[in-house]
Structure 1
Amino acid sequence: MTQHPIRDKEVELRAYRLKRTRQLLAQFGIDAAILFDPLNLRYATGCRNMQVWTSHHLSRYVFVPVNGPVVLFDYGGAKHLSDDLETISETRPAKSWDYFGSGNRSLEHAESWANEVTALLRETCGADAVLGLDRADLLPLRALERNGVTIKDAKGPLEMAKSIKSDYEIEVIKRSMSVCSDAITFMREQAVPGVTENYLLSLVNQFNIEHGGEYQETRLLASGQHTNPWFTEASEKSITAGEMVVFDSDLIGPDGIFTDQTRSFVMGGGQATDEQRRLYAHAYEQLQHNISLLKPELEFAEFIDKSWKMHDIYLPNRYAEMVHGIGFGVEFPVVYYPDDAATWQYSGRFEAGMTVCVESYIGKVGGREGVKLEQPILITEHGPVPLSNLGFEEQYF
């Protein structure tokens, strides 16, 4: 018999993810879920189709019961995409009620959708079964309620399911992160004074797609005055020698993995200014301090208490969070700054098998430039392990 170790591992990974999905649905008191989010659908089944397009057109979804066959409802003529997936027992054509396709028949089509889902739920799970939804569009939601279906939010169980990675899942993440690191290196090799932010961004995308990656979630590559405050998107601005260049990869790499890495460097390879060195040193110090804290069973509140104390001049421009999970995208958990914890922070703890990104942004209000660094990390029983071997600019500190 011919052996296919990689294929066997992929089957094992899909089985692990589907099992996690079912286990967490059961823990949350849900008998079956309809998953619209392309990332949740892909996690539970391993099937992808027009992932960006279907994120804003609810024309593809999957029925996942705690016990029973998984039924994929796919777009148009795409049913063949799941032919080889053992996670899916049946594929049906999806029903849509979006106004662009249904017009003044939207309500009718939503009723038809709800009737099919209700029948499938009760046939598979019983008359009083609880249905989970990870998205709740108004028309089908009301149609389900008219059918007497009890509905719960399925976002929680899916986030919790995705938060703990299997051993092979970690291998997949590392391979995808390696492509991201190589894409960044490819971009750096062609980063010379006079190129535009858009040009450098295009190089990262080119390399990623050529090597099996899929798309980019943001356009966060900035230079000079565009680096402070953060979140200015890439533009036609030409980058001059001596300016700080900051980029957040946000690439969806091979196997759909969110390969989130951030680095900063001075264009042209020259000496950094005293201010640039100071910004970089503080960002690096924050990053390394917070990484060193990560370990299993550490409560989020304790992490916040022990986290690097940001200088007052940087606080107003702080990043949105200090840590966030990664997998198919930004995932559970998120850990906020002490200044934001009272408003946003929820309870929980880090666990072995979590993959997270540790974030730092340093830039003072009114300052010309800022520095952002971000490192993906695997939390193990022995502490934090980097998921990327991409270096830092040690000559700056």
Structure 2
Amino acid sequence: MFELPTTINEQRVRAYRLQRTRELLAKFNMDAAVLFDPLNLRYATGCRNMQVWTSHHLSRYVFVPVNGPVVLFDYGGAMHLSDDLDTIDETRPAKSWDYFGSGNRAEEHAGKWADEIADLLRQTCGRNAVLGIDRADLLPTLALQQRGISMRDAKGPMEMARSIKSLEEVAIIKNSMQVCTDAIAHMRQHAKPGVTENYLLSLMNQYNQEHGGEYQETRLLASGHHTNPWFTESSNKIIEDGEMLVFDSDLIGPDGIFVDQTRAFVVGDRKPTDAQRRLYAHAYEQLQHNMALLRPGTTFQEFGEKSWKMHDIYLPNRYAEMVHGIGFGVEYPVIYYPEDHETWQYSGAFEEGMCVCVESYVGPVGGDEGVKLEQPVLITRDGPVPLTTCPFEESYL
């Protein structure tokens, strides 16, 4: 049985992540990569800066070679953020071509960006080096092509790198998950008839940020008829006595961890109805059945074939996937329902060290309510180990 460390060596965590990045870039036949995605940049370097804003303004990026110095290009005035990071050898001001900042000079500015990257790539990796890019706009991509740079998609190696966690990473995830569990408990104390969905959502956010968390990725907290079908976002709907409350935490907790937990319970003093109990029991049964299948070496195809057989009345409203990886966000792998395998499912197998979320949503077509449950687990050689202590409503079963 594995044993998690009680203290975290952050320098060792950063070194592990950078080494994983370099190993996977080499495995995918790339000599270096420019990473724009804030999650990939943070993974490779340990440096964060305005993660939400820079997810839609590509004004921050990092050059990571398989061999050679790592160069961070940070937003103007923010270069001091990486002063104490051993993973970054040099910091330069970032160049941007976004139209809001460049206007009719956008193409010119993209060319200057490409000149600097092409020079850095050739100086570090040689004239025929292959460059990976995880995200790119049209103008800089065209500019690199015009300069004869051979490019490949770096999303694959970055997803694969992030999918296997060290024991220290697992300890970080568990610590962050506890903040989420506590945020849920705090919210639940105020979940009473007469409050709004938005009010309860704000309480989880408040607790998370007060305890080192960062932000929330979605607004998935719903009650009553908003729970079926799923994906109705939180609103000013007043929650009534006896309604089912369903929420997908989707918080970014301490250390940037995506603390993805989903629970459901009946609000107020009323006992759950037979219909609510049935929905909850089926969702819980699906969750437990599928969780037990998670073993190293089990292929995604095998998992789909052995997964819980969803009742016909629930199939049209099924969730997007049965399993997805977690770390800084929703990550590789994603396992779809058997009905969607022909369209979406790729090959692969579960591995020891993966952290994944097992999903269940049960909502009958035309029904009043639905129930969603989700459990994050670590895959070990002995099977899945829960990453959260957040309780289920066992009295409903």
Same fold (TM over 0.5): yes
Q: Is the 8 A contact 2:36 2:136 kept in 1?
A: no
Partner of 1:229: 229
What are the Cα deviations for residues 26-71 of structure 1, in whole angstroms up to 9, with x where unaligned? Answer: 0000000000000000000000000000000000000000000000
* Letter of the 1:159 counterpart: E
Q: Distance in 1 between matches of 2:307 and 2:6?
A: 40
Runs of 4+, deviation exceeding 2 Å: 5-8
Partner of 2:194: 194
Q: Distance in 2 between matches of 1:8 and 1:270?
A: 45
Q: Distance in 2 between matches of 1:389 and 1:306?
A: 26
> Following TM superposition, by how much is the alpha carbon of 1:136 offset from its aligned partner in structure 2, in angstroms?
2.1
Partner of 1:168: 168
Partner of 1:106: 106
> Following TM superposition, by how much is the alpha carbon of 1:395 offset from its aligned partner in structure 2, in angstroms?
1.1
Q: Pairwise mapping of residues 1-397 of structure 1 onto structure 2 (< 5 A)?
A: 9-397=9-397
Q: Distance in 2 between matches of 1:8 and 1:214?
A: 20
> Following TM superposition, by how much is the alpha carbon of 1:368 offset from its aligned partner in structure 2, in angstroms?
0.5
Q: Match of 2:384, SS?
A: strand
Identity of aligned residues (%): 75
Q: Distance in 2 between matches of 1:259 and 1:8?
A: 18
Q: Distance in 2 between matches of 1:43 and 1:66?
A: 15
Structure 2: runs of 5 or more not aligned: none
What are the Cα deviations for residues 78-128 of structure 1, in whole angstroms up to 9, with x where unaligned? Answer: 000000000000000000000000000000000000000000000000000
Q: Match of 2:321, SS?
A: coil
Q: Distance in 2 between matches of 1:240 and 1:8?
A: 44
Structure 1: runs of 5 or more not aligned: none
Q: TM-score, normalised by structure 2?
A: 0.98
Q: Distance in 2 between matches of 1:387 and 1:195?
A: 30
Q: Distance in 2 between matches of 1:167 and 1:387?
A: 12
Q: Distance in 2 between matches of 1:292 and 1:37?
A: 33
* Letter of the 1:387 counterpart: L
Q: Distance in 2 between matches of 1:396 and 1:267?
A: 13
Q: Match of 1:152, SS?
A: strand
* Letter of the 1:90 counterpart: E
- Matched residue pairs, number? 393
Q: Distance in 1 between matches of 2:208 and 2:337?
A: 32
- Structure 2 CA distance for partners of 1:325 and 1:380, relative to 1, 3 Å: same
> Following TM superposition, by how much is the alpha carbon of 1:269 offset from its aligned partner in structure 2, in angstroms?
3.9
What are the Cα deviations for residues 231-268 of structure 1, in whole angstroms up to 9, with x where unaligned? Answer: 00000000000000000000000000000000000011
Q: Is the 8 A contact 2:8 2:168 kept in 1?
A: no
Q: Distance in 1 between matches of 2:235 and 2:367?
A: 20
Q: Match of 1:209, SS?
A: helix
* Letter of the 2:91 counterpart: T
* Letter of the 1:318 counterpart: R
* Letter of the 1:52 counterpart: V
> Following TM superposition, by how much is the alpha carbon of 1:335 offset from its aligned partner in structure 2, in angstroms?
0.3
Q: Distance in 2 between matches of 1:65 and 1:7?
A: 30
* Letter of the 1:224 counterpart: G
> Following TM superposition, by how much is the alpha carbon of 1:7 offset from its aligned partner in structure 2, in angstroms?
8.6
* Letter of the 1:233 counterpart: E
Q: Distance in 2 between matches of 1:13 and 1:21?
A: 12
Q: Distance in 2 between matches of 1:245 and 1:331?
A: 27
Q: Match of 2:9, SS?
A: helix
Q: Distance in 2 between matches of 1:330 and 1:222?
A: 21
Q: Is the 8 A contact 2:294 2:350 kept in 1?
A: yes
What are the Cα deviations for residues 197-245 of structure 1, in whole angstroms up to 9, with x where unaligned? Answer: 0000000000000000000000000000000000000000000000000
> Following TM superposition, by how much is the alpha carbon of 1:6 offset from its aligned partner in structure 2, in angstroms?
8.7
Q: Match of 2:292, SS?
A: helix
Q: Distance in 1 between matches of 2:216 and 2:8?
A: 29
> Following TM superposition, by how much is the alpha carbon of 1:270 offset from its aligned partner in structure 2, in angstroms?
2.2
Q: TM-score, normalised by structure 1?
A: 0.98
What are the Cα deviations for residues 163-188 of structure 1, in whole angstroms up to 9, with x where unaligned? Answer: 00001000000000000000000000
Q: Match of 1:151, SS?
A: strand
Q: Distance in 1 between matches of 2:8 and 2:265?
A: 42
Q: Match of 1:200, SS?
A: helix
What are the Cα deviations for residues 298-332 of structure 1, in whole angstroms up to 9, with x where unaligned? Answer: 10100000000000000000000000000000000
> Following TM superposition, by how much is the alpha carbon of 1:8 offset from its aligned partner in structure 2, in angstroms?
6.9
Q: Distance in 1 between matches of 2:154 and 2:295?
A: 28
> Following TM superposition, by how much is the alpha carbon of 1:365 offset from its aligned partner in structure 2, in angstroms?
1.0
What are the Cα deviations for residues 136-159 of structure 1, in whole angstroms up to 9, with x where unaligned? Answer: 210000000000000000000000
